[in-house]
Each structure stands twice: as C-alpha cells, then as structure tokens.
Amino acid sequence: MSAARQMDETCMNVEKAESGLPPGRRKPRRTNVPDASGAGGRKLRTRRLNRNALYITIGVAVAAIAILAVTMANANRPSLYAVTADGELIGYTDDPSIIDQIVWRLSEEESFRVGAEAIPSCQVDCQKVKWEKGLEVTDPDRLGETLKERIGFVAKGYVVCVNGEDVVALCSEDAARGALDDLRKNYISSIVDAGHATVEEVLIKERIDIVEQEVPTDLFRSKDEAVAILTRGTDKMLSYVVQRGDSLWAIAQANNMTVEELRRANPNIQGDLIKPGDNLNLIVPDPYVTLYSRELVTYTVSIPFSTEVTYDSSMWPWQETVIQAGKSGQKEIVEEIQRENGQEVGRRRLSEKILSYPETRKVVKGNKQVPEMGSGELAWPVQGTITSNFGPRWGTYHRGVDIGAPAGTPVRAADSGMVVFAGWNGGYGNLVKVAHGSDMQTWYAHLSEIKVSTGQEVKKGDVIGYVGSTGRSTGPHLHFEVHVEGVAKDPLSFYK
C-alpha cells in the first residue's frame, strides 16, 4: 500500500519536473542578475558624493556588465536539473523527459522479468538548479546505469503464507497455486515410486493462504523455486562434491553436521555408499509445510506349508520319500499407511484375502532300527593330541573333543556300525555319523575327504575319511563326538 502511494508520488514528481513546456517558454529561474543590479543601484544612489566612489562605481559597473554578460550567456543555455533518487543526488540533466524515459524503460524491463507490472519503489526527482561552475550534464547512459542500480521495484505479488507467516512470493495467483499443486504432485510421485501404492489423500497440515500484496520484485520466486523453498525450508543451496577417501562421517564433521543430519539432507544415500563425484546436499531440510498422506498398499505374502511325516519301518532313518511336494499359499493384504513428509506415522490393515491355500508337504521317513553292531569298546579314531576338551568353551558348549593331527591323517571308525550320515553339515564341514546300534553314534567332523557313504556298514578301525579343516575350523583337526540315546557325552569317558 505504502509502496503504491510512494509510486504515485514518484510519477507526479516526474511529471511535475517535465511539465511539458519547452525550456524556452519556462519562467526563468531566479538568477543573480536582479540581485546584483539592485545592489549596484542602491550603491550608486547612496555614494554619489564620495569622490573615491567614482572608481568603485566604475568597478561595480564593470562587474555588473560582466555578470550581465555571463547571465545572458547562461540564459541561452538550457535549464539544469538535479536528479535525485530517494533524495540522494545521482546526476544532472537538461532534459527531465530523459529521466522519465529511463524510469519507464527500467519499469518495463522489470515487469517483463517478473511477469507482473513493476512499479518503482524509489522516488526519482528532477529539481531545477542554477548553473554553477563545475556543473555539467551527466551522460544519460551513466544516469541510466545509476538508476538501474538504485531503483527498487514493487509489484502486485501473491504470497504463500504458512500459518500466517509469509514464506514466498510469486508473480501470479496461478503460479502460487501451481507451486502448491506441484508440491503435492512431487510428494505423491515420491510415494508411488517407492512402492505399489495408491495415494488416497494428500493434504498440507498447516493453514495455507495466498495473499495478494505489494512485494519488492527481488523477492519474487519462480514456481519451482517456491516448491523448493516450501520443501526445504530455505532457498539456500550448499552442496559438496565427494572426493576420494571421503566418508560420511568426515564430510559431516567438516560441515558441523551429524551423520544423521547428512543422511536426512540426502535421503538417497544407500548405507554408507558414497563415491567420488557424488554431489551431497549440505542443507538439512526443515520444511515449512507438512504433507500428510493416506495411501493404500496392496501386497502379497506367502503362507508357509506344513510338513506331515509318516514313518515306514522298512526304510533306514536316513531314507525318505516325498509323496507330496508341498506348496506355499498366497495372501493378499491391503493396508492403509499414513505418512507425514514421507515418514510413516500410522498403518492399518484393511483387508486380507487368501489367493491360494498352502499344500501340505507329505513325507515318509524310515525308522528301521540299526542293529546292535558295536562291541561297546571304542578305539581311538585318529593319531594325534587332544587340543580341546568336551564341555563349556567360550560361552558355548563343546560337544566333543578336538584331536589335532596333520591334514590327510586317516580317520578310523571307533567301533563297528552303519554310516547314517556322510556329507556336508554346516559348521561341522564334512561329517560322518556312524550308528553302532539303536542308542549309540560316533561323529567325525571337519574331514578333508569322506571315504564312506550313507547306509554302508563299517568295521571298527576302517578308514572312513581324512583329517581336514572343513566347516567352522581354524586348522586341521578331528572333532569327535559320542552320542548315547541322542545326547552328546564326553568321548574320553569311553576310554578307561
């Protein structure tokens, strides 16, 4: 409002100064001519009888003639005007209409730049002054440059206010509404891109007003800039290009940020992965607006199948027949997720639909008893020294003894029996289990090579494999276990 009033005054001042009259027809400004002649006249009358006055009279007359000559010369010169911007002198012109034209041209340029009618917010005046020694007309181009620097403009803008706070000004109501629309659209696409979601609702939680008001034109922002400001909370840009050897921690440290803040400023960083040339944003977003959304997500989960085991006493325990393979079922789940600025703040399950039921896996396993085959007297399975005993060890329980021996040393069955397992078993590595009847087994782990196969009968002392370091092992050794009725016992208690 005040800017508009100021602007009207500016126009009036410019018009006043110009007034449309050609310089010749203007009323001449007061010069020093009447003063000088008046004073001279008085002096002639009062000092007529003074003899010395003659010389003075002649001097004054000469002076008067000289002044008159100068005045007549000046009378032929055009008038001089001091140009001021908000009261500050910026130059002289002999043609106020030039100033008017410059102001008009600058206003047009600014109007074009911001897309709204720009009005000078600074008062430009032309005031007639008398010619004095040293004064000269300023080059119009220079006056134009100076004015361009000095004149500010205001224009009718549309200010996006968040909870009553002016945040950003745009040149049109369409642009302001467009920025808010883009804000929502960007938000929706960020959610949709992240998963199979249908966005049901997006709203801005804060009160948003678009207020029409006079705004200094240097505060105008484009639609995209406005979106960035509303999202980031600032139009400051500060970024960093990752160099070789940089880490998130080092970059955060160097910029007085925490790693957490650096991550918030760069949500696209996966884990700690940054590479030279990456451009990191150093401004932690502090959005002016909170976008709240409700989205529907539909996803399927598998329903695990169960296994039904039946036993056949004609089959060995390591044998099994799959009668039905078993298949997972599928369930479709629809959930509503509520988010604020992308962060999940609530979730509600709306429906669950079974797409397919799981099919039970059906297996027949053998439970034929291994005949009593051992003597009950165990032989030592390998030539070597005990490096670790049975019992608690390093917070766990060591279920056997470790016998250190060079890799490739033969490992022998501690008693006669039937091989019920020969193959890889996780931390055990290559493992052989020999059953010596229904209630006793010996296990041989970390073997470099297995020489027997499941179902095979072995005699006490037969080579079943070789010392190695397979599975969870730090060097060649035999890990040897003795099980009685399914429970690991201290192997050494069988050698007395």
Q: Name the residues that contact Zn ion, by CB under 5 A.
A: 402, 479
C-alpha of 319 from chain center: 58
| Other CB atoms within 10 Å distance of the CB of residue 378 | 19
Beta bridge partners, 166, equal: 161
Q: How buried is 69 (Cβ within 10 angstroms: 0-12 exposed, 13-18 middle, 19+ buried)?
A: exposed
Q: Which is nearer to Zn ion, 220 or 444 (CB)?
A: 444
Task: Please name which of 204, 205, 195 lies closest in space to residue 335, comparing C-alpha atoms.
Answer: 195
Distance CA 68, CA 89 (A): 30
| Other CB atoms within 10 Å distance of the CB of residue 464 | 23
Least Cβ distance, residue 399 to Zn ion (angstroms):
8
Q: Which is nearer to Zn ion, 125 or 402 (CB)?
A: 402
Residue number with the smallest Cβ distance to Zn ion: 479
Q: Which is nearer to Zn ion, 96 or 429 (CB)?
A: 429
- Say which residue the tokens 């002289």 belong to: 92
Q: Which is nearer to Zn ion, 460 or 479 (CB)?
A: 479
Least Cβ distance, residue 386 to Zn ion (angstroms):
10
Q: Which is nearer to Zn ion, 339 or 477 (CB)?
A: 477
Q: Which is nearer to Zn ion, 412 or 479 (CB)?
A: 479
Least Cβ distance, residue 482 to Zn ion (angstroms):
13
Least Cβ distance, residue 444 to Zn ion (angstroms):
11
Least Cβ distance, residue 486 to Zn ion (angstroms):
19
- CB 159, CB 213: distance < 8 Å: yes
CA triple 462-464-467, angle to 5 deg: 120
Least Cβ distance, residue 387 to Zn ion (angstroms):
9
Paired tokens of 318: 């390591």
Q: Which is nearer to Zn ion, 295 or 402 (CB)?
A: 402
Least Cβ distance, residue 493 to Zn ion (angstroms):
16
Least Cβ distance, residue 429 to Zn ion (angstroms):
11
Residue 99's SS3 state is: helix
Task: Please name which of 494, 444, 493 lies closest in space to residue 466, comparing C-alpha atoms.
Answer: 444
Paired tokens of 481: 């276990």
- CB 185, CB 204: distance < 8 Å: no
Q: Which is nearer to Zn ion, 319 or 469 (CB)?
A: 469
DSSP state of 274: -
Least Cβ distance, residue 479 to Zn ion (angstroms):
3
Sorted by sequence, the CB contacts under 8 Å of residue 110 that are 6+ apart come out as: 118, 153, 155, 217
Paired tokens of 98: 């030039």
C-alpha of 77 from chain center: 66
